Structure 1
């Protein structure tokens, strides 16, 4: 019993550390960039957007490659090498004295943390069909925990020193590498391995499937606009909070953690209560309206206490993503479900690349020296426009999106 549980524990810790990669640096990035660049908050936001985008590009580009390498060489070496490289990379970022070294660190971190598919494959290897969903749920729980713990660690330790969170992350990754070295057996026997094929490692392959899904094209546009707008929160939160209300790193971390907890509550419980009552179609409609209103409220907020009120309200808007997936799943044919999930994964990755670049540009132009008007909430207003655009497109497609059984549209 124990030997089986230890590898599962290692996988959970691995995906948690991977998920911490973004949240960990969010609270400290404004101070760290200003330290190495001697730049203003507006300039730091531009560099921060590029650092976030390059991390997302690496994950998007290397996830299929790393997954295919694990099919060729086994899961254990890929997972251990990735964790070891991540530990060394955090050490480099902890001592980085130039913005270019930070860029190199984020590039390597994005590659090393692109092990989601390998972690899922390991779980599939060691469990039978009846228990796979349960173990896949553990991976989702690990990711959720990482998104909550990352800002907490970054905020608490970043208040002591902007580089302290990277030291802590390096220690965690190194400890998990040592743990995995002793407890992680190989799950893929040699006879089940296959030759490496570059065609299967193409990260843009799923996007080519869009042409095979003509019935859900407009709905995919809704999803892309929604996700770009929704990613405004992690993209500019630390810069926005500092620029608008003067909060320090500790408060930035606490507010990010509060948002993560609120999202977890919504996804873990409220969605199950709301979706059956509204139906998927109505849930998307009202969720997009709520998200638009909340983004607008963040954009014009004038007092810090307003943020604490908005956080749990805006978290309810997370109902849109699963509801949209349900609508699109029913709009696509049964033979198109695989292509649909691949396209959705690519759209999610694309939004994580585009949103930081767009939103940090908006923050820069409305907070730079001489900006008139000065508006730190400009990225959220841009997000509100995109979200309203998603709502407009969705309203035009609603006749094609049949309501859930038993739910009136």
Structure 2
């Protein structure tokens, strides 16, 4: 493995660590700066703001890297992330926290640049494997982040941000020293229309037969936002977990998801078929969520992690099923639409889940997980109704 690839993979890990480390400490941090007991809505706003900045700036950074080169965009992004985490470490009020989280979302949009860099340095026959490594590194970072954030946050709420700043600064220095440029700067003008993140969404309403699978992706992506938005609040309210236990529970969840998605989908689809694998995964997750809703002891959550692991077969099976809805010559356009839909769900869902948790927190915190089950229930008839015989042509 060459040095540039190692640096890019390290950057992806740090991006994921930065996303994950804030989850265990965010409720306590918001209580400190707002002096409010109920902070669920603030968490939803911060999570949605982070996702919105990624949604808007991922195409911008990608286009700038095509024009200016990959290296300067990556270096600026890493430097911005290091500075931003220092700002977050000493932010005295909510507004500065929101600004810092927005900048964090902007800088973490460099995943699109990292993907382009890997494409530049990888021959075609190695790209699939290296893109798999990118996904694996993100999973590893999201496992490390919550555990690190919870452990350090128990010593001092701001310490995780300082750790993230140091890690990003170290990676910046390493990248500056040994990361070569892979693309010559271009004098061509940037197509401003291509920077519009809503552009792919305009195709949705032109694809009537594809609307069910697009809606399934929107619903299932939305369910995933409940964990990052409400897990830490719920763990503290239901079991009085400290930052370390919240981090350990999120880290265990991440390990189960990573391992299951790495090893189970292939055999499951071969044995059950794509549609049945999706429904099996959804069923397993819904059982786990129902147990969480009524759980009275913290150990029960760790005990049901195998159910979440089984649920990990659902999304890869859905991705496989989705690719069969259009022809081979339209896969890129279709995947762009799905990526936009997933990003949109990441903006909307945190606001909905945080608002619902704000309502049910005092009476029954676990009700939040039944709301996720209800959202899954919307997608089940759509999965059952998907047809594979006819592929829908995409609009030009």
TM range (shorter): over 0.9
In structure 2, the partner of 1:24 is 21
The Cα shift of 1:214 comes to: 2.9
In structure 1, the partner of 2:393 is none
The Cα shift of 1:294 comes to: 2.2
The Cα shift of 1:230 comes to: 2.6
Query: What is the alpha-carbon distance in structure 2 between the residues aligned to residue 356 and residue 182 of structure 1?
Result: 39
Once the two structures are superposed, residues 374-405 of structure 1 have per-residue CA deviations (whole angstroms, 9 ceiling, x without a partner) of 1111221111101011112222x14x146xxx
> Is the CA contact (8 Å cut-off) linking 1:216 and 1:328 kept in structure 2?
no
- Does the alignment pair 1:144 with 2:139? yes
- SS of 1:196 mapped into structure 2: coil
Once the two structures are superposed, residues 64-116 of structure 1 have per-residue CA deviations (whole angstroms, 9 ceiling, x without a partner) of 01100000100000000000000000000000110111001001111011011
Equivalent runs, 1:46-125 vs 2, <5 Å = 46-125=41-120
Q: Please, which of 37, 41, 44 is the counterpart of residue 39 of structure 2? A: 44
In structure 2, the partner of 1:306 is 300
- Does the alignment pair 1:377 with 2:362? no
Query: What is the alpha-carbon distance in structure 1 between the residues aligned to residue 167 and residue 39 of structure 2?
Result: 28
- SS of 1:159 mapped into structure 2: helix
Cα gap change, 1:213/1:337 in structure 2, threshold over 3 Å: closer, same or farther? farther
Query: What is the alpha-carbon distance in structure 2 between the residues aligned to residue 95 and residue 60 of structure 1?
Result: 27
The Cα shift of 1:215 comes to: 2.6
Q: Please, which of 124, 133, 136 is the counterpart of residue 129 of structure 1? A: 124
> Is the CA contact (8 Å cut-off) linking 1:71 and 1:194 kept in structure 2?
no
In structure 1, the partner of 2:240 is 246
The Cα shift of 1:46 comes to: 1.2
Query: What is the alpha-carbon distance in structure 1 between the residues aligned to residue 236 and residue 165 of structure 2?
Result: 27
Between 1:310-319 and 1:344-353, the stretch displaced more is: 310-319
In structure 2, the partner of 1:328 is 322
Cα gap change, 1:212/1:129 in structure 2, threshold over 3 Å: closer, same or farther? farther
In structure 2, the partner of 1:221 is 215
Q: Which consecutive segments of 4 or more residues in structure 1 shift more than 6 A?
A: none
The Cα shift of 1:329 comes to: 1.3
Number of corresponding residues: 390
- Does the alignment pair 1:173 with 2:168? yes
> Is the CA contact (8 Å cut-off) linking 1:362 and 1:379 kept in structure 2?
yes
In structure 1, the partner of 2:352 is 358
Please give the TM-score of this superposition, normalised by the length of structure 2. Answer: 0.95
Q: Please, which of 386, 390, 393 is the counterpart of residue 382 of structure 2? A: 393
Query: What is the alpha-carbon distance in structure 1 between the residues aligned to residue 63 and residue 216 of structure 2?
Result: 31
- Does the alignment pair 1:343 with 2:337? yes
The Cα shift of 1:273 comes to: 2.2
Q: Please, which of 189, 199, 208 is the counterpart of residue 195 of structure 1? A: 189
- SS of 2:264 mapped into structure 1: helix
The Cα shift of 1:193 comes to: 6.3
In structure 2, the partner of 1:162 is 157
> Is the CA contact (8 Å cut-off) linking 2:53 and 2:106 kept in structure 1?
yes
Unmatched segments (≥5 aa) in structure 2: 390-396
Once the two structures are superposed, residues 339-388 of structure 1 have per-residue CA deviations (whole angstroms, 9 ceiling, x without a partner) of 22011111211121122111111111112xxx4xx111122111110101
Query: What is the alpha-carbon distance in structure 2 between the residues aligned to residue 315 and residue 230 of structure 1?
Result: 14
Query: What is the alpha-carbon distance in structure 2 between the residues aligned to residue 311 and residue 361 of structure 1?
Result: 26
> Is the CA contact (8 Å cut-off) linking 1:290 and 1:314 kept in structure 2?
yes
Unmatched segments (≥5 aa) in structure 1: 403-409
